[in-house]
Amino acid sequence: MSPLVKKKGEKFTIPSKYLLFALTLICVLMIALSLFTGFFDGILNSTAGNMVIPFQRGITYVGSFLNDKADNLKEIETLLEENTALKTQVDELTLEINRLQQDKYELAHLQELFKLDAQYESYEKVGARIVGSESVNWYHSFLIDKGSKDGLKQDMNVIADGGLVGIITEVGPNWSRVTSIISDEINLMGQVLATEDNLIVSGNLVTVKTEGTIDFSQLLDADDQVGPGDKVVTSSISDKYLPGLVIGYIDSMQSDTNNMTKSGTLLPVVDFNHLDEVLVILDLKENYGE
């Protein structure tokens, strides 16, 4: 009986030698087709193209993406470093600009003091810087950085801005206190420069703060020659103030009830709201003319 014949009740089986022979034959046929016809090359290439190439594209895209991100991160790091350097340069330039502005400001003040020094060249003077004030806005009493070691004495006159600031009322070794002419406690003899009429100048903190003026009184002006705008200077009959120091200009005036004298207000020549440096006249009135 043939080995391929199926007996009744048995399962159909193929002997292994026939199966091996069939598989061998198929392999030989596939090898032959591959060698002589290239039949499988197209299939394999197609399979590789469909599977490998997209995978390669994906790897290439991911690599390019990561490379771009790395380049961007390097650019950002570089920009951050450059930004930090620029901020440092800006800070340095800002400090330099502020220093130059301060130098310009101080130079302008020194030039004004130089002009003032020339204006009162007959007096010996020393420069001083204001280092303290009893008021934030108005310098009615303040400290300067020069004292007895620098030759300063009580009752020495202090000038700035082209005119009289006040008088030294207290002296220490390296500091002095100046009471300005706007202070309520100050009274001094003045003179209208054009007519040589004497008057009394009195400090007034209220009016100087509200209107920028101080008071004058006891002006003898029988011929009505004095008017607003006239310059007022220190009088030669003053007991503590040297003569000829500019005090200010007449702002307003009216006749007193006695119809003999006049009173009113003066605009001080000194800006008592902005003082930094002053000149102290070393000559005392008691020694004036010696």
Q: What are 219-234's pLDDT values in tens digits? A: 998 889 999 999 999 9
What pLDDT sits at residue 115? 64
Residue 95 and residue 133 share a domain:
no
Residue 9 belongs to some domain of the structure: no
Q: Convert the pLDDT of each residue in 165-209 to its tens digit.
A: 999 999 999 999 999 999 999 999 999 999 999 999 999 999 998
Residue 267 and residue 134 share a domain:
yes
Separation CA 237–CA 57 (nearest Å)? 107
What pLDDT sits at residue 54? 65
Average pLDDT over residues 20-44: 66
Residue 202 belongs to some domain of the structure: yes
What pLDDT sits at residue 151? 95
> DSSP states of the chain as a string?
--TTPPPTT------HHHHHHHHHHHHHHHHHHHHHT-HHHHHHHHHHHHHHHHHHHHHHHHHHHHHHHHHHHHHHHHHHHHHHHHHHHHHHHHHHHHHHHHHHHHHHHHHHHHHHHHHTTTS-EEEEEEEEESSSS--SEEEES--GGGT--TT-EEEETTEEEEEEEEE-SS-EEEEETTSTT-EEEEEETTT--EEEEE--HHHHHHTS-EEEEEE--TT----TT-EEEE-TT-SSSPTT-EEEEEEEEEE-TTSS-EEEEEEESS-TTS--EEEEE---GGGTT-
Residue 30 belongs to some domain of the structure: no
Residue 279 and residue 202 share a domain:
yes
Q: What residues make up the domain containing 100?
A: 39-119
Residue 241 and residue 136 share a domain:
yes
Residue 282 and residue 151 share a domain:
yes
Residue 143 and residue 176 share a domain:
yes
Unique residue bearing structure tokens 């003032």: 116
What pLDDT sits at residue 51? 59
Count of domains observed in the chain:
2
What pLDDT sits at residue 41? 58
Residue 189 and residue 129 share a domain:
yes
Residue 243 and residue 226 share a domain:
yes
Domain boundary among 119, 149, 175: 119
Residue 258 and residue 130 share a domain:
yes
Contact 190, 243 (CB under 8 A): no
Residue 192 belongs to some domain of the structure: yes
| pTM confidence score | 0.62
Average pLDDT over residues 240-257: 94
Residue 223 belongs to some domain of the structure: yes
For residue 273, pLDDT over 80 is answered with yes
Question: Where does residue 4 rank: exposed (0-12), middle (13-18), buried (19+ CB within 10 A)?
Answer: exposed
Average pLDDT over residues 115-125: 74
